[in-house]
Amino acid sequence: MMAKYPRSKPLWKLYIGPMIMALAVAAFPMIARGDYSYLLDLGRLCGIYVIIVCGLTLLMGYTGQISLGHAGFYALGAYIPAVLISAFHWPLWAAVIGGILGTAVISLLIGSSILRLQGNHLALATLAVGIIIGEGVSKLAITGGADGLFGLPQITLFGLLTRPEVRVLGIKISQGVLQLYFIWAVVVACIVWAVQLIESPGGRSLRAIHGDEQAAESLGINTFALKVKVFVASCVLAAIAGVLFAFVHAEGNLLPEEFGLMMNVQLVMMVVIGGMGSIWGSVAGGVILTVLHEVIALIGSAAGAADTSRIEHLIFGVMLALILILSPSGLIPGLKRATTRIIELRSK
């Protein structure tokens, strides 16, 4: 089926990006100095957000459907398996599969109803869904309420991730680094999938919906079905990120703060900062915002401030507004344009 259509890019061009990224991540622990475990922590968190933002970019950037509620699905991915384990004593692997499938089913139900809405209505509905789930997990008794769930098992990959260090070809790799590699392996897989999708006929249909939904419909594209598919796919990616957060990054201790109202906004911000129309922009957006968060916290604690969240929100808000006003296509395309302009001016 797919072979009938010409690819717009040769294969090597599609995969060179993910490969470079994989190499960069592999090299990261060797380059990183200083507070090592702290940097690993940061690297893992970046990877988790990049997975969500990757899906959200497909939905918002390519299909043009806004979602202000993806933190909700991120929460489902973390909490469904956690509840299955803590309340129903499922084994970890079954709970994780159950969590991802459960999120897929829930997002299918929600998506197939609310994606009939458009624009402002869709924005409100998705925001409402995000708040409902986020508030729900912080209030329900079965999810531990505001105290969260503790002592959940961790993903061990057949014991690989529990060892303090592993030797590969004579190189020692510590546990934290292995966890980082594991998360970023998932990230690379997600990005390969997304890049593949975008360059396929299906991806072109998505962009057609963004351009003009009625025109796409008239070309024989089942726009509604496609929108629901992308919505579910992006929710599944968010759920995978949730699983990685709960069972690798947070080491089995799950708190509802991670999935609050601000997370919904932060995810959208990552998409916007990177540039709404590019997968690589979403990688950049996820990494930039996560690193910035840590930098602000570091500067704040060095300056003796106890709570940096308010100043952080201020900085994020100003950044988001400036980017949208000055360069609505995102930070990366904006910088690209600015540099080409400077080069043009120089050569004159």
Partner 1 sequence: MGQYLGLFFANGVVIGSIYALIALSFNVIYSTTGIINFAQGEFVMIGALTTAWLHVAMHLAMPLAILAGVFTAAVVGLACYLVGLRPAKGASPVTYIIITIAISIILKSLASFVWGTDPYTLPKLVQGGVRIGAGEVDKHSLLVIPVAGMCMLLLVLFFRYTRVGLNMRACAENKEGARLCGISVNNASAASFALGAALAGVGGVMITPILSMQFDAGMMMGIKGFSGAILGGFGNPIGCVIGGLMVGVIEQFICYFSSGYKDILALVIVVVLLLLRPRGILSR
Contacts with partner 1 by CB under 8 A lie at: 60, 64, 66, 68, 113-114, 116-117, 119-121, 123-125, 127-129, 131-132, 135-136, 139, 261, 265, 268, 272, 310-311, 313-314, 316-318, 320-321, 324-325, 328
Q: Minimal distance in Å, beta carbon 62 to partner 1?
A: 13
Residue 168, phi then psi, degrees to nearest 5: -125, 120
Q: Closer to partner 1 by CB, 91 or 328: give it.
A: 328
Q: Minimal distance in Å, beta carbon 159 to partner 1?
A: 41
> Do residues 101 and 94 touch, judged by C-beta distance below 8 A?
no
> What would the two tokens of residue 2 be?
């797919």
Q: Minimal distance in Å, beta carbon 99 to partner 1?
A: 21
Q: Minimal distance in Å, beta carbon 247 to partner 1?
A: 26
> Do residues 52 and 267 touch, judged by C-beta distance below 8 A?
yes
Residue 214, phi then psi, degrees to nearest 5: -70, -40
- What's CA 132's distance to the chain center, in Å? 20
Q: Which amino acid is at 306?
A: A
- Nearest alpha carbon to residue 179 among 34, 48, 23, 19: 48
Q: Closer to partner 1 by CB, 18 or 144: give it.
A: 144
Q: Closer to partner 1 by CB, 120 or 347: give it.
A: 120
Q: Minimal distance in Å, beta carbon 285 to partner 1?
A: 13
Q: Closer to partner 1 by CB, 255 or 262: give it.
A: 262
Q: Closer to partner 1 by CB, 175 or 308: give it.
A: 308
Q: Minimal distance in Å, beta carbon 257 to partner 1?
A: 14
Q: Closer to partner 1 by CB, 27 or 322: give it.
A: 322
> What would the two tokens of residue 22 be?
């994989």
Helix (H, G, I), strand (E, B) or coil at 254: strand
Q: Closer to partner 1 by CB, 313 or 336: give it.
A: 313
> What is the rounded CA–CA span in Å between residue 93 and residue 170?
31
> Do residues 265 and 319 touch, judged by C-beta distance below 8 A?
no
Q: Minimal distance in Å, beta carbon 243 to partner 1?
A: 24
DSSP string for residues in 128-191: HHHHHHHHHHHH-TTTTGGG-B-S-----TTTGGGSSEEEETTEEEEHHHHHHHHHHHHHHHHH
Q: Closer to partner 1 by CB, 297 or 311: give it.
A: 311
> Do residues 234 and 244 touch, judged by C-beta distance below 8 A?
no
> What is the rounded CA–CA span in Å between residue 202 and residue 257?
36
Q: Minimal distance in Å, beta carbon 328 to partner 1?
A: 5
